Structure 1
Amino acid sequence: MKLALITDIHANREALEAVLDHAETQGASQQAFLGDFVGYGADPGWVVDTLRERVARGAWAVGGNHDEAVVRGPSPQMHAEARHIIGWTREQLDPAQRDFLAGLPMSRSVEQMLFVHANAHAPAEWGYIDSRGEAMRSLMATRARLVFCGHVHEPRLYYLSTVGKSGDFHPTPGMPIPLLPLRQWLVLPGSTGQPRDGNPAASYAIYDTEAEMLTFHRVPYDHELAADKIRRAGLPLRQADRLLHGH
């Protein structure tokens, strides 16, 4: 099975459409969505409906902090701009769409895989995996051999060996990486809807469960249209600029 790992869509219809089309051309038959489906972008309703349809057909999904904020209200830690966007997003969603977000689990385990938005050691606290130390903290908190996380908008790969050796990679798009069975792995696919590594192309990854190979992908999309939609919706201009420049 080829599993598409998609996260941090952030209400970006154009990016999600491009990634779903690309994943299909790569032979991905299953999807795992790792949270933050809304927030920042201009198409929250379309994105939520698309996710609902995919989940109804068997895709796996977990919730993110922006999804939770739309349902329960923004946390005090969210900056003013994000809080404003959360309020706008909530107004765009109907009760059924909000109920879908409210029903998303914090994490999901499938065989040797763990899917979670932020991290494995304290998923409800929404801490970022922004260092090797934080990645090891998550890996040591679970028995899962493969941990797939979102939240961080840059693609990255970490591992922990059976003798305690750790490492990390900045992956090269399109280059398959063997996930050696004697290691634990933590995968950050990068953001589909709002990349922040200087590359505006949508980011996601595919895991081949039979070959045990992981491939990161970057998919160009019409980010100018997505940015224009943000401007026309009256959302903060900085969010449009982020799509244009990838940071």
Structure 2
Amino acid sequence: MKFALFSDLHANRQATEAVWEHAQAEGFDRLVLLGDYVDYGADPGWTIEFVQQRVAEGAVAVRGNHDDAVVVGAHEGMHGQVQLSLNWTRQRVSAEQCAFLSSLPLMASFGDCLAAHANAHAPAEWGYIHGRMEAMRSLYATEAHLVFCGHMHEPRLYHLSGTGKAGEFEPVPGVAIPLSRARRWLAIPGSVGQPRDGNPAACYALYDDEQDSLTFQRVPYDHEEAAQRIIQAGLPEMMAHRLHHGR
């Protein structure tokens, strides 16, 4: 079975449409959505509808910290321009859409995989996986062969051997990475709507559980239009500049 992995759409309709079209052309059996569907971008209502439609079709979806913050209020550390963006977003999503975001779980299992937005060891605390140490904590917190997380906005891949030795790979877009069954893995596909590795192209990944392979993808999209929509909406210009530079 082949899974498409989308994370951190962040209300970016242009990026989401481009990645969705690319994934359909590549072919997959089931979609996995790793959270943060709203905030930063100009189309929160549209992206929630997109997620709702995919879930109705059988997609796996978990809740992200920005989804949570739109419903319950800003978390610790969310201030300044992020608070402005959250307030703007909250005024443009319906009560039904908020209820949908609130209903999403923090983690979800499928096959021998686990999906979480931030991490698997303390998903409600929204801590980042900055490196091997945090990746190991998440892998030790579950028996899943493969853990998928978002939150970092940069494509990353970590592994843990049977002897407890951790390592990481630098993923190359479009190149399938074999995932040895002798190791356990934690993959971060990167952000669809807010890449932050210096490349403005949208990120996602494809996992083939029959071939035991993972392919990271980059999809150029009209980030100029997405940025212009942010400015026209009156959102902080910093959020438009990020799309130009992928930072």
- The CA deviation at 1:76 is 2.8
Q: Distance in 1 between matches of 2:169 and 2:127?
A: 20
| Amino acid corresponding to residue 68 of structure 1 in structure 2 | D
- The CA deviation at 1:127 is 0.3
Q: Distance in 2 between matches of 1:54 and 1:208?
A: 19
The answer for the alignment partner of 1:156 in structure 2 is 156
Q: Are 1:237 and 2:237 counterparts? A: yes
Post-superposition Cα deviations, 1:138-178, rounded to whole Å, max 9, x if no partner, equal 11111111000000010000000111121001100000001
- The CA deviation at 1:219 is 0.1
1:120-139 equivalences under 5 Å are 120-139=120-139
User: Please, what TM-score do these two structures have when normalized by structure 1?
Assistant: 0.99
The answer for the alignment partner of 1:212 in structure 2 is 212
| Amino acid corresponding to residue 85 of structure 2 in structure 1 | I
Q: Which residues of structure 1 form unaligned runs of 5+?
A: none
Moved over 3 A (4+): none
1:219-230 equivalences under 5 Å are 219-230=219-230
Q: Are 1:7 and 2:3 counterparts? A: no
Q: Distance in 2 between matches of 1:169 and 1:213?
A: 13
CA RMSD of aligned residues (A): 0.7
Identity of aligned residues (%): 58
Q: Which residues of structure 2 form unaligned runs of 5+?
A: none
The answer for the alignment partner of 1:99 in structure 2 is 99
Q: Distance in 2 between matches of 1:245 and 1:211?
A: 35
The answer for the alignment partner of 2:203 in structure 1 is 203
Number of aligned residues: 247
Q: Are 1:165 and 2:165 counterparts? A: yes
Q: Are 1:52 and 2:69 counterparts? A: no
Tell me the SS of whatever aligns to 1:172.
Answer: coil
- The CA deviation at 1:58 is 0.2
The answer for the alignment partner of 1:17 in structure 2 is 17
Q: Distance in 1 between matches of 2:160 and 2:75?
A: 33
- The CA deviation at 1:79 is 2.2
- The CA deviation at 1:96 is 1.2
Tell me the SS of whatever aligns to 2:5.
Answer: strand
Q: Distance in 1 between matches of 2:118 and 2:75?
A: 15
- The CA deviation at 1:63 is 0.3
User: Please, what TM-score do these two structures have when normalized by structure 2?
Assistant: 0.99
- The CA deviation at 1:111 is 2.1
Q: Distance in 1 between matches of 2:221 and 2:2?
A: 22
Tell me the SS of whatever aligns to 2:205.
Answer: strand
| Amino acid corresponding to residue 43 of structure 2 in structure 1 | D
